[in-house]
Amino acid sequence: MTTTAGTAAPAGTAAPAATDQDLLYSEVEDDLRASVRALLADRCPHTAVLARCEGDEPHDPALWSALAADLGAAGLAVPEERGGHGASWRETAVVMEELGRSAAPVPFLGSAVLAAAALLGCDPRRQEAAELLAGVASGTTAAALAVDFSTAPGAEFPCAVRADDAGALTGRVTAVADAPAAQVLLVPAIGPDGPGLYAVDAAGAGVSTAVPPALDLTRRIGHLDLDGAAGRLLAGPDRARAALERALLTGAGMLASEQLGLAEWCLEETVRHVRGRTQFGRPVGSFQALKHRLADLWLEVVSARAAARSAADALASNAPDADVAVAVAQSYCADVAVHAAEECVQLHGGIGMTWEHPAHLYLKRAKADQIALGTPGRHRARLAGLVGLPPV
Amino acid sequence: MTSNPTAVDAGELRRRVAEFLAGHDPAGTDRLEFLRARFDAGLAWVHYPVGLGGLGAPRTLQPLVDAEFAAAGAPDNDPRRNGIGLGMAAPTILAHGSEELKQRLLRPLWTGEEVWCQLFSEPGAGSDLAALATRAVPEKGPDGDGAGGTWVVDGQKVWTSSAHLARWAILIARTDPDLPKHRGITYFVCDMTDPGVEVRPLRQITGEAEFNEVFLTGVRIPDSHRLGAVGEGWRVAQTTLMNERVAIGGGPAPREGGMAGVVADAWRGRPEGRTPELHARLMRLWVEAEAQRLAAERLRQQLAAGGVGSEGAGMKLGFARLSQALSGLEVELLGAEGLEYDDWTMRRPDHVDFTGREAGYRYLRAKGNSIEGGTSEILRNIIAERVLGLPAEPRSDKDVPWKDLPR
Ligand SMILES: Cc1cc2nc3c(=O)[nH]c(=O)nc-3n(C[C@H](O)[C@H](O)[C@H](O)COP(=O)(O)OP(=O)(O)OC[C@H]3O[C@@H](n4cnc5c(N)ncnc54)[C@H](O)[C@@H]3O)c2cc1C
């Protein structure tokens, strides 16, 4: 799949930034954060996550239903009249931060972000799509968007799956995020009239999902094989392309907030550790070599927070330069999260290398997130086109 | 600093600016007269108190006022000529000065009639500013300690930007060498026209001399020009230094403001210099600059909402790193043209523009960004200790009388 270099800005200009962005957290967002954090502290301690990730069911269905349905987190970005809670991607981003902080094994990104955003792009008058969106928003249905998780916004519409006249789908899609937890798959496919988005029951005939061991222990991927699987059309050529693009853009923007939360946890945990650990007769955190590294990391996290908030705000308000804000946030936050997780392992010393300590959950999530929805380099290449800085 | 943040809102400010402009035609009024009147109307720095150039309005409304004046074609106070005065001296005078000093000093400071400089660093006291050796000795105060009388100052300062233009200086000097170093320092306002002040240019790597050596020999300072109590100078200096870091790193900037814009324009204008490696670096730095701009904007929103911004110290650190990386990239992008330099002539500029002149100058001037106003290493120490709460390194200089410290 190739990335197209966005629409070029007129030569000699960068797209001006939206000036009225709110980069802070509202009171409502703070309250939401507190509820999600309390739930995760109660239901998702690291010991439980570690125990679960070696079992057959890496995601936690009970936690998922408490978060998605009881707390209503899955429907935050969906308007009330379409079965959601009528908040926005800003609030959803706060949930993503908290999920990043706890490396929680729930299919939130796959279902409440990628699938929900794709369904929001479908015609609300199409009953099939409307019902599915309501199910996803209420947290009763977990869906997954059947695209390769490394796909970046701006990618060509995938053509690996074909739909026949009767809506039977055939083809293979690798590395679908949260597919193992999904009841419904949203499959972009080329139908008789062109690009379409189809719903397929994950447990239906002609669908097989292989679940490989994944680098990220807390977010599983699945390889889908579709062999004449029954698909229900959600969006035809008029909307499918835009719906998919919006989903990828939204996913990449929301992922930046997950990366922020993840980096915050790593920084805090590392600071806590180096303050308490004594070697050479003093806390190792009093050695300047470590203090300076952590000060630099802190500054990265400060900038990551601003970039992630900017992307969330741009998506929430449908800002015309949302693609720039997302490319900035995703390319920046992805590297910050990896850096934070790597420092976390290193500054914990030997204990950071153990299976028992949770640092590796974050390292694995951070490294997988760096590839997810476009590597930083891919986002920078796209940005170059968007802001008029061509490579040659 | 804001006495009553809700008293004057945006609408009220717009109204007052319009009223002021109706009474003072920007085209027909003498520049200084206009600026003085603007100060007296409280429209200079609106967050300052009434009577001192402000209206006690929220600080965040200042850009609105500046924009209204600019749109009317009004003269401004050329803030780049008096950065130290506006950014550092003024907030310190406001916070610690007597009513009399505020009345005397703030108006000509704001209008630019009187330029200020900062007499802090010394040959033996840079990062370790509290080690400074310049002495201030009471001459003949009624109670024998200088209070109410005159101080006599002797010593040498260095790297003093704008000293050659300055009418006044903020000065810290040692008043008690028997105390540990942080405790024996007092803060003064120094008259640069005193016959004991000698300013010699100090040429820098760009060829010109922004900064100077300043020799202080028997300089007489009235006690009424002291800011804060005797021996409290270190605490007072913190006001100055915190404002310095905000002033250098945290100004409002549009996307592609500053060096990022200079380099982006160079890229757009010179297709012949483009290589994949330069492009990869350019895009990385562009993204970092945008993230940094958003972080500064977020900090401003936090301050406006009445929150604290411990992030302030980080802004200058990030700014220095980025301006150096970007200006270095620009020189490379120029290829053979980057081998030339516009002018090595020794000059004493009357203002500093980090993005001014040509690429070679910008590259060299940016080197100062990680030294002036606290080095990047010192800023990392501050972040690590004050923001992250990491323990200080063991120190041997804190409780020893200053006179007994190794030098
Ligand atoms: C362009 C420019 C303009 C200036 N203008 C002014 C001015 O107007 N007024 C004024 O008073 N001063 C001014 N300065 C001085 C500036 O504040 C000092 O140069 C600065 O504080 C560093 O002090 P120093 O030069 O003595 O270096 P030093 O303190 O000797 O530092 C040398 C090196 O050691 C490092 N270092 C020192 N202590 C530590 C530590 N504890 N941990 C780790 N590393 C450390 C430093 O980071 C630096 O890399 C200016 C400087 C420049 C470059």
A1: pLDDT strictly greater than 50: no
pLDDT bin (cut points 50, 70, 90) of residue A2 is very low
One-letter identity of residue A10: P
Which residues lie below 8 Å from residue B323, measured CB to CB, with a gap of 6+? Answer: B258, B259, B354, B366, B369
What pLDDT sits at residue A11?
42
Per-residue pLDDT of A113-148, as tens digits, reads 999 999 999 999 999 999 999 999 999 999 999 999
DSSP assignment of B141-195 equals -TTSSSTTSEEEEEEEE-S-TTTTT-SEEEEEEES-TTSBTTTSEEEEEEETTST
What backbone torsions phi and psi does residue B200 show, to the nearest 5 degrees?
-120, 130
Which residues lie below 8 Å from residue B218, measured CB to CB, with a gap of 6+? Answer: B152, B153, B154, B196
Q: How far apart are the first and last CA of chain A?
A: 22
Q: How many CA atoms lie within 13 A of B251 on its CB side?
A: 12
Distance B371 CA to ligand 1 centre (A): 5
Distance B374 CA to ligand 1 centre (A): 6
- Report the C-alpha gap between A145 and A117 in whole angstroms: 10
Distance B189 CA to ligand 1 centre (A): 22
CB contact under 8 A, B283 and A383: yes
| CATH code of the domain occupying A27-142 | 1.10.540.10
Minimum-distance ligand 1 atom for the alpha carbon of B376 = 47
Q: Which of A12, A17, A286 sits opposite B390 (nearest CB)?
A: A286
How crowded is residue B29: how many other Cβ atoms within 10 Å of its Cβ? 16
B240: pLDDT strictly greater than 90: no
- Report the C-alpha gap between B59 and B206 in whole angstroms: 35
Q: Is B120 exposed, middle or buried (CB count within 10 Å of its CB: 0-12, 13-18, 19+)? A: buried
Which residues lie below 8 Å from residue A209, measured CB to CB, with a gap of 6+? Answer: A176, A179, A180, A202, A222, A223, A224, A225
Q: Where are the domains of chain B?
A: 5-76, 116-244, 258-373
Catalytic residue among B68, B244, B330, B372: B244
What pLDDT sits at residue B312?
75
CB contact under 8 A, B318 and A332: no
What pLDDT sits at residue B299?
87
One-letter identity of residue B70: A
List the structure tokens of B70.
């600019």
Distance from CA of B158 to the nearest CA of A (A): 28
Identify the CATH class of A161-240.
mainly beta
- Report the C-alpha gap between B219 and B190 in whole angstroms: 9
User: What's the rounded mean pLDDT across residues B351-371?
Assistant: 95
Q: Which residues pair with A283 in a beta bridge?
A: A278
Q: Which residue has the higher pLDDT, B58 or B347?
A: B347
Identify the CATH class of B116-244.
mainly beta
Q: Which of A14, A305, A309 sits opposite B255 (nearest CB)?
A: A14
Q: Which residue is closest to A293 within chain B, CA to CA?
A: B380
Distance from CA of A295 to the nearest CA of B (A): 5
Which residues from A are below 8 Å from B384, CB to CB? Answer: 291-292, 294-295
Q: Which of B274, B279, B391 sits opposite A285 (nearest CB)?
A: B391
A6: pLDDT strictly greater than 60: no
Identify the CATH class of A242-386.
mainly alpha
Per-residue pLDDT of A296-319, as tens digits, reads 999 999 999 999 999 999 999 999
Helices (H) and strands (E) in chain A, counts: 11, 10
Residues with CB under 6 A from ligand 1: B 117-118, 120-121, 126-127, 159-161, 210-211, 368, 371-372, 374-375, 377-378, 381
Distance B123 CA to ligand 1 centre (A): 10
- Report the C-alpha gap between A98 and A91 in whole angstroms: 11
Mutate to test the pocket of ligand 1, among B116, B118, B127, B205 (most ligand atoms within 8 A of CB): B127
Q: Which residue is closest to A287 within chain B, CA to CA?
A: B393
User: What's the rounded mean pLDDT across residues B382-395?
Assistant: 93
- Report the C-alpha gap between B157 and B7 in whole angstroms: 43
Q: Where are the domains of chain A?
A: 27-142, 161-240, 242-386
What pLDDT sits at residue A14?
56
A8: pLDDT strictly greater than 60: no
Report the predicted TM-score, pTM, of the whole model to 2 decimal places. 0.93
Q: Which of A23, A302, A328 sits opposite B301 (nearest CB)?
A: A23
Per-residue pLDDT of A238-290, as tens digits, reads 999 999 999 999 999 999 999 999 999 999 999 999 999 999 999 999 999 99
B282: closest CA among A5, A383, A2?
A383
User: What's the rounded mean pLDDT across residues B258-262?
Assistant: 96
| A256 and A314 Cβ atoms separated by less than 8 Å | no
Phi-psi category of residue A178: left, alpha or beta, with phi > 0 → left and psi -120 to 50 → alpha? left
CB contact under 8 A, B383 and A21: no
Which residues from A are below 8 Å from B274, CB to CB? Answer: 390-392
ipTM: 0.93
Mutation target among B298, B308, B321 for the A interface, most CBs of A within 10 A = B298
Burial A323-335 (b: 16+ CB within 10 A, else e): bbbbbbbbbbbbb
B313: pLDDT strictly greater than 60: yes
Minimum-distance ligand 1 atom for the alpha carbon of B163 = 8
Q: If residue A249 lies in a helix (H) or strand (E), which one and from where to where?
A: helix A240-276
What pLDDT sits at residue B140?
67
CB contact under 8 A, B380 and A275: no
pLDDT bin (cut points 50, 70, 90) of residue B148 is low
Minimum-distance ligand 1 atom for the alpha carbon of B373 = 17
Per-residue pLDDT of B187-201, as tens digits, reads 999 999 999 999 999
| Annotation says B244 is catalytic | yes
Arithmetic mean of pLDDT over chain A: 94
A233: pLDDT strictly greater than 50: yes
Q: Whose CA is nearest to atom 24 of ligand 1?
A: B126
Mutate to test the pocket of ligand 1, among B372, B390, B396, B398 (most ligand atoms within 8 A of CB): B372
